[in-house]
């Protein structure tokens, strides 16, 4: 995506749900996003996802681009670093396990309504609201 500006996280997520920025139900979007991700490996504080090639056909995710995604997710509290390997179609996330419980990732992707998944989703929703409204909750 060289030479193309990446849309903001709010606009990309809004286009995924058909909503306007600020009106996105991230919990409802997770099943769609989860269809493109599989946990390949996880150790405390680090998780690697395999990304389904179908993600390349999703216009909203394609428009966001890897740099935009890394930039957007990299500012989420508890996320230290995100590395995307396009060739391997993988994404490695290093995170603080005291903020984001290790089990949160698999619970959230599987749609399990656990406290850990709620913690991770809450962090993502708070950052989304902050980006949309320019303020913290």
pTM of the model as a whole: 0.70
Residue 63 lies in a domain: yes
- Please give the Cα distance from 126 to 137 (Å, whole number): 6
* Domains held by the chain: number: 1
Q: Label residue 137 exposed, middle or buried (CB < 10 Å: 0-12, 13-18, 19+).
A: exposed
89 lies in a domain? yes
Is residue 87 a part of any domain in this protein?
A: yes
Residue 3 lies in a domain: no
| Length of the chain as a residue count | 137
Report d(CA 10, CA 16) in Å as an integer: 10
* Model confidence pLDDT, tens digit, residues 74-119: 578 899 988 888 899 999 999 999 999 999 999 999 989 999 999 9
* pLDDT 10s digits, 26-59: 666 677 778 889 999 999 999 999 989 887 787 7
88: DSSP letter: T
Residue 4 lies in a domain: no
Q: Does residue 2 fall inside a structural domain? A: no
Q: Does 28 fall in a domain? A: yes
Domain carrying residue 64: 9-133
């Amino acid at each position: 995506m060289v030479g193309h500006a990446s849309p903001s996280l709010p606009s990309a997520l809004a286009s995924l749900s058909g909503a306007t920025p600020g009106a996105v139900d991230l919990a409802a979007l997770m099943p769609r996003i989860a269809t493109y991700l599989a946990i390949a490996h996880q150790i405390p504080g680090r998780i690697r996802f395999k990304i389904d090639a179908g993600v390349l056909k999703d216009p909203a995710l394609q428009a966001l681009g890897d740099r935009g995604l890394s930039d957007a997710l990299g500012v989420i509290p508890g996320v230290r670093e995100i590395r995307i390997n396009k060739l391997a179609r993988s994404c490695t996330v290093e995170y603080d396990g005291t903020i984001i419980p290790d089990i949160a990732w698999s619970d959230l992707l599987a749609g399990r309504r656990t406290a850990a998944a709620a913690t991770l989703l809450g962090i993502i929703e708070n950052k989304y609201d902050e980006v949309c409204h320019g303020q913290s909750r």
